[in-house]
Every structure is written in C-alpha cells, then in structure tokens.
Chains A and B, each alone.
Chain A
C-alpha cells in the first residue's frame, strides 16, 4: 500500500510530466495558397456560429481562423500573399492581464485558454489583442435543423455575450494526451492534429510539442525561416510562421 505522501508525490510527478508539453503551431506561408479549407475545417470542428451575410458585412464574422490576403506590388507585377491568422497563444498575452474576471488565462501547457462560463463580455481582451483574433458573440448562435446534426459534442456552443477564439483544438489535445497516457507513453508527432492542420491540402500547418527537441515543430521553429507576427510587441506567440521562399505560382 502506498502512503499518502507517496501518492501525492506520484500525482505531482505526473502533473509535472504533463506540463512538459508546450504546444506550438508552425504555418508555412510559402505553402499556403489561400484556399480557405482550414477556415471551414475550424468552423465545423469548433461549432463556430454562422452569422449570415448581413452580419459578415458588418465585420461580425466569427471565424476563429481567417485567411488574410495582402497584395504586393503594382499592377501588372502583382503578387498575392496569404496569411492564416488565428489566436497566437502568446506567452506574454496582452488579453490575459486585462480581463477583470479571469475568463482568459494561460494554462501550464502554453495555451491561452478562454473560459466561456466566466466571461461577462467586457471585450477588453479584444481591445488589447494586437492580432484582432478574439470574437464576440453579438447574438445567440442558431443551428437550424440539418446543421445541428453536425455539431461537435466535444465543444460547447457559446452563449450570446461571451468572447471566443481559437483554442488550438483543445478537445483534440485532450484526447491525444489521454490516448498517449493509456498507452504509457508521451505524445508524439502526429498524435494530435488540429482541424485546420488536418484539412490543409498543402500541409502548410504543423502542430506539435515544442519542448520535444525531436519534434517537427521544434526543428521548423529553429530552421531560420521562422518569424513571429508583431515581434516588436513582445508577446512571444506560440504560433510561428515560416517565410523566405517564394510562391510565385500564385502570381
């Protein structure tokens, strides 16, 4: 029989072991062709509300992941660049400190987590996010008859008046970790795939544990092509972008 002290020790050891994960996402901008499949994948996985044409016109779309399109150069030498933008899961997140009710906080695995039940909708976090990737539920979301059948049971549907944002598919991370634990091993590359990474036809999005020096994301993040968005803001995002090649194909 284990003593109480021992069991606490074992527990805390396990807990620490779990903290060894630090999730990161690498997006290869040179591979992105702006098809928008990731946006749809994300929307289907996370029960993101569809708000309708009129509301989208008012910039009230709820896409957790959006494709930003930038145009370089003057006609006729024009190049289009695409930038998939989602919550950057900043290590020094500006949104976290300003929330008066702790509805958003940093979890031990380096994710910026939104707690819908705590949120009272002051929208201060949205004002302090330099990436503008936090979305507000302006109205109650509706999922009419056939659509409600495709709702993901692992993800809660948000009430009106709360903020929401990319969670790096928290539910999939949980499942991946549980499976790995059952098999008595650590999470490896390929165990967890967020919806966007799974959907991306060109494989531009990679997800993994950056604490594991053998992982793909670690290698990519140290490849010399990696950049963080708005680096001068000092937010230290967990999402990194690769650039430096060309994508002249889309000219």
Chain B
C-alpha cells in the first residue's frame, strides 16, 4: 500500500492515526460525548472545541488553510519595513560601519543591545515549554507550539546582529572552525567564539525540539491538505515523515520529546550565560561582575515569557482561538511572569546596591553616569519590576486581556532599555577618563533594528500559514488523560495520569 493511499484513508478517518492491524487510531474521546460530564465541562469557559475531534482539527487548522486579504496587506507592510532595513544594511556594508553611531570607546552600541534582547526573547519558548513539559503542567498544552516557534525565530533574528555589527562581513566566515587552506583556527579562548558555538547549538536544538513536537500535527495537517488538494500537501508529505500514529511511533515520540526537553533545559541557561560572558569576561568596570550570568538568564526568561503572553493574546484575537487559548492560560502565564519579575527585581537591586556600597571609583562612575539617564531607569523600574509586580498580583488584572497585552509590551520595552543600559553607558565611561564620550544611535541603526522586529513578525506570520500553530496532539492528550472524579454529587475534572 503506498504512502499516499494510507494517508488518504487516515484523512478520511479525520485523525492522524492509521487503521489496520497493529496500527491504532487515537482512542475515541468518550468523555466529551458523555452527557454525564457536563458538570465537568462547565469548569472550562466553553468546551465547544471538545465536541468532536474532527471539529477540533478543523478549527485549529483554520488559520493555516484560510487566509484573509488583510493578512497579505499586513505581510506586505512588514516586507516594506524589512526592505528599508535591508537598504540601510547594504549601504552600511558598502560604505562602512561609520554609518552607525558607534565611535571610539563605545565600540558596541544598539546592535549588540538588540542582539542580547533577541537572544533573551528566544529563551522564553523552548525553556518555558520544556519546564512545563517536565513539570507536567497541564495548562501548557495549547501554548507550546507558539512559544517554541518564537524561540526559533527570535534566534534567527538574533543571529543576524553579529553579522550586521562586524566590520568585515565578507570575512565573517573566519569565525567558523573549518580546517582549510587558510591554516587558521579560531581562538577558542574568546567569549565571542563560545557565543558563536552556543547560539548555533541552541538554534539547532530548538529547531529540532520544534520539529519533533510538530510531527503528529504535521500528519493531521497533511491529511487535511491531501483531502483538500491544497498545495501545502507537497511539503507536508515530506515533513510529516509518514507519521501514522501507531503505538510505537507515539512511544518513541514521547521518549524523544522528554529527552529533548531535558537537553534543551540544560542548553538554554548556558546560552544566555555565555552571552552575558561576552560582557562579564572583560575587564571593563561595570561589565566585569559575577552576577551577570544568572542576571541575564533571568532577564531573558522574563522578557521571553512576557513576549509569549503578548503573542498568545495576539493569536487569540487574530485567529479567533479564544476557546483554545483561554483566559485561564493567560492567568497561569501571568503567575509565572510574576515569579520571574520578582526574581529579576532582586537581581536588579543586587547589582545596584553592591556597586553603591563599595563605591569603587571606576564602577561608581558608571553607575553615576547611568544616573544621568534617569528616565530610562524609571522605564526599566516601572516596566521591569514595580508596576509589573503590582499589577500581576491581581487575578482580575491577569485575566484581563487588553491589560495583559499592554503590560507585557511595557515589560519588553523595559527589558530592551535595560539591555541598552548594560551595553552603552558602561562603554562611555571606561577606565580612561580622557576618552569619555556619549553615544546616540543613528538613523541607520534605528532602521535596521526596526526592520529586525518586522522580520520576526514576518517569520511568525509565514509560519502560521505553513504549519499548525496550536499543539493539537498535546491538547488532545490532555483531554484523554484527564477524567472525572465523583465526590458525592459533584463531578470534578482532574488529571488522571500523564
């Protein structure tokens, strides 16, 4: 039997499962058809999606297969923003890095701050999803895919910035450890080299994680695409790797995703620690601190979770997914954000208080110079800690979508400025007072950075149209493993097993 036939049949069945002999379809979800569980269903806002699996598939694949006109207009607009950034970048490459505002002691400017920001953003997705997988948090299920995709895309954007920032782009391949006629080997003592390796490993790891998680959903999408005769079937057939949903496939899949979750959980903090070491390993006062490793990691997770919430709310509104991404999920993510906000505030305070107390002249000079930028700090403090912690403490705030949307945007603004404050003012107040200067970004830098945001959104928009954005398999699994327990007259929905 050819693969196509097999696939077509399973498409008819409406599930990713096959159906002969040893191959078994996904078990029927009895609990949702059982009228007795009505009381349990009331626990959720609206359980329409659980009426039947086919309906659920249709519903969650809708953003993928049906595209509105406004989507094309939106992506075109993003394309224009990207084009202006590309123009600036090409011009800068051919004329010289002098187009950026960086100069003598401030050798790293907004480009590197943005690089750190994007690497930070990438820490949300994979790390959050692997923590939630390992801790078996049941509410994680619908958000996994969107979060993991965010990791991959923000890393892809982050990876561009070192290239934008180097002086000789056409020689950037010297960083690659290739045994070649050049007879040159990169310097593995350099934190930049560690960074290069770490980012590549993390990109590979998180892409694999994203792809493995996609497999069962790809199969569902493939079946639908073949049934519809949609052009997406061509790549979906290849990418789904002939997934049929057999017992063996599921068992291997579960083992693999658990294994990858553990690996990613080990890689992710080390990546941002290494990014922080780009700064902390130098002997520049203000950068050379032991706190930078954990501080950066927490900051990364912080801005990442905030970005996940922003994205979730956007997806929920744009693609009409209110029944999949519920208020309950945003509320749970809000609690997680609150915890991270408190930890981050602690680090922020620690960094300041030790410098202030010891009052070492060169380090205090940096602090005092940062003090001249009080509005920035106010923004970081408001967005990063005070306002966030205050607001997130209220359940009513956490389940209010527009409030959460605004707050998470504010958090990321604060975190961007925080990265800027780490890179720039410290360089403008170096050891040698003769060289003290200030730095302001030029239009070239602003243009490229704005384009990087557009690029991120663009990648995401494309992803939504090519791959299923909701983790369907995981949601279904959650439905299967949860059941009802009767306590007297009440039926309570619990998670039976995982």
Question: Could you list which residues of chain A lie within 8 angstroms of chain B, going by C-beta atoms?
Answer: 55, 58-61, 68-70, 83, 85, 94, 97-102, 118-124, 126-128, 130-132, 135-140, 159-163, 230, 233
Q: Which residues in B have their C-beta under 8 angstroms from that of A102? A: 184-187
Closest A residue to B426 by CB, please name it: A127
Q: Which residues in B have their C-beta under 8 angstroms from that of A122? A: 162, 165-167, 192
Asked if B342 is at the interface (CB within 8 A of a chain A CB), the reply is: no
Q: Which residues in A have their C-beta under 8 angstroms from that of B283? A: 94, 128, 130, 233
Closest 8 CB pairs of A and B: A121-B167, A161-B167, A138-B98, A139-B96, A123-B107, A161-B168, A130-B431, A100-B192
A59-B437 in contact given A101-B175, A124-B192, A161-B168 (Cβ < 8 Å) = yes
Given contacts A99-B187, A137-B96, 8 further A-B contacts (CB under 8 A): A122-B162, A122-B192, A127-B108, A128-B282, A131-B432, A139-B96, A161-B97, A161-B169
Q: Write the nearest CB–CB distance from A234 to chain B, whole angstroms.
A: 9
Q: Which residues in A have their C-beta under 8 angstroms from that of B175? A: 100-101, 120
Which residues between 328 and 350 of chain B lie within 8 Å of chain A, taking CB atoms? none
Q: Which residues in A have their C-beta under 8 angstroms from that of B190? A: 97-100, 124
Question: Could you list which residues of chain B lie within 8 angstroms of chain A, going by C-beta atoms?
Answer: 95-98, 103-105, 107-108, 162, 165-169, 171-172, 174-175, 184-187, 189-193, 196, 278, 281-284, 427, 430-432, 434-435, 437
Total A-B contacts with CB atoms under 8 angstroms apart:
133
Closest A residue to B194 by CB, please name it: A100
Q: Which residues in A have their C-beta under 8 angstroms from that of B192? A: 98, 100, 122, 124
B434 touches A136 (CB 8 A): no
A118 touches B184 (CB 8 A): yes
Question: Measured between alpha carbons, how far is A94 from B281 in the docked complex, in Å?
Answer: 10
A132 touches B184 (CB 8 A): no
B96 touches A100 (CB 8 A): no
Q: Write the nearest CB–CB distance from B168 to chain A, whole angstroms.
A: 4
Q: Which residues in A have their C-beta under 8 angstroms from that of B189? A: 97-98
A120 touches B166 (CB 8 A): yes
B105 touches A132 (CB 8 A): yes
Closest B residue to A235 by CB, please name it: B283
B431 touches A101 (CB 8 A): no
Question: Measured between alpha carbons, how far is A141 from B97 in the docked complex, in Å?
Answer: 13
Question: Measured between alpha carbons, how far is A119 from B284 in the docked complex, in Å?
Answer: 22
Q: Which residues in A have their C-beta under 8 angstroms from that of B193? A: 100
A60-B281 in contact given A120-B166, A120-B168, A122-B192 (Cβ < 8 Å) = no
Q: Which residues in A have their C-beta under 8 angstroms from that of B278? A: 124
Closest B residue to A66 by CB, please name it: B434
Most buried by A among B96, B105, B184, B191: B96
A160-B167 in contact given A122-B192, A136-B97 (Cβ < 8 Å) = yes
A230 touches B104 (CB 8 A): no
B187 touches A101 (CB 8 A): yes
Name B's interface SS: loop
Checking B167, B172, B174 against A118 with a beta-carbon cut-off of 8 angstroms, the contacting residue is B174
Q: Which residues in A have their C-beta under 8 angstroms from that of B434? A: 68-70, 83, 85, 132
Question: Measured between alpha carbons, how far is A160 from B99 in the docked complex, in Å?
Answer: 12
Q: Write the nearest CB–CB distance from A118 to chain B, whole angstroms.
A: 7
Q: Write the nearest CB–CB distance from A219 to chain B, whole angstroms.
A: 29
Question: Measured between alpha carbons, how far is A129 from B416 in the docked complex, in Å?
Answer: 26
A120-B97 in contact given A99-B187, A128-B283 (Cβ < 8 Å) = no
B105 touches A98 (CB 8 A): no
Question: Measured between alpha carbons, how far is A139 from B167 in the docked complex, in Å?
Answer: 10
Most buried by A among B105, B108, B168: B168
A139-B168 in contact given A60-B103, A126-B107 (Cβ < 8 Å) = no
21 A–B pairs (Cβ distance < 8 Å), ordered by A: A59-B103, A60-B98, A60-B103, A68-B432, A83-B434, A98-B189, A98-B281, A102-B185, A119-B168, A120-B175, A122-B192, A124-B278, A130-B430, A131-B431, A132-B104, A132-B431, A132-B432, A132-B435, A159-B168, A160-B97, A161-B169
Q: Write the nearest CB–CB distance from B173 to chain A, whole angstroms.
A: 9
Q: Which residues in B have their C-beta under 8 angstroms from that of A101? A: 174-175, 184, 186-187
A136 touches B432 (CB 8 A): no
Q: Which residues in B have their C-beta under 8 angstroms from that of A61? A: 104
Closest B residue to A233 by CB, please name it: B283
Question: Measured between alpha carbons, how far is A230 from B431 in the docked complex, in Å?
Answer: 9
Q: Which residues in A have their C-beta under 8 angstroms from that of B196? A: 100
Q: Which residues in A have their C-beta under 8 angstroms from that of B171? A: 119-120
B187 touches A100 (CB 8 A): yes
Q: Which residues in A have their C-beta under 8 angstroms from that of B437? A: 59
Closest A residue to B93 by CB, please name it: A161
Question: Measured between alpha carbons, how far is A135 from B282 in the docked complex, in Å?
Answer: 18
Question: Measured between alpha carbons, how far is A188 from B192 in the docked complex, in Å?
Answer: 41
Q: Write the nearest CB–CB distance from A95 to chain B, whole angstroms.
A: 10
Question: Measured between alpha carbons, how far is A69 from B435 in the docked complex, in Å?
Answer: 11
Q: Which residues in A have their C-beta under 8 angstroms from that of B186? A: 100-102
A136-B166 in contact given A102-B186, A130-B432, A161-B97 (Cβ < 8 Å) = no
Q: Which residues in B have their C-beta under 8 angstroms from that of A58? A: 103
Q: Write the nearest CB–CB distance from B166 to chain A, whole angstroms.
A: 5
Question: Measured between alpha carbons, how far is A168 from B205 in the docked complex, in Å?
Answer: 47
Closest B residue to A124 by CB, please name it: B192
Question: Measured between alpha carbons, how far is A245 from B283 in the docked complex, in Å?
Answer: 32
B167 touches A119 (CB 8 A): yes
Closest B residue to A105 by CB, please name it: B187
A132-B430 in contact given A121-B166, A138-B96, A161-B97 (Cβ < 8 Å) = yes
Q: Write the nearest CB–CB distance from A60 to chain B, whole angstroms.
A: 5
Closest B residue to A94 by CB, please name it: B283
Question: Measured between alpha carbons, how far is A5 from B108 in the docked complex, in Å?
Answer: 51
Question: Measured between alpha carbons, how far is A160 from B171 in the docked complex, in Å?
Answer: 12
Q: Which residues in A have their C-beta under 8 angstroms from that of B432? A: 68, 85, 130-132
Question: Measured between alpha carbons, how far is A159 from B166 in the docked complex, in Å?
Answer: 13
Q: Which residues in B have their C-beta under 8 angstroms from that of A59? A: 103-105, 435, 437
Closest A residue to B108 by CB, please name it: A127
Question: Measured between alpha carbons, how far is A121 from B171 in the docked complex, in Å?
Answer: 9
Q: Write the nearest CB–CB distance from B344 to chain A, whole angstroms.
A: 25
Question: Measured between alpha carbons, how far is A102 from B167 in the docked complex, in Å?
Answer: 15
A161 touches B104 (CB 8 A): no
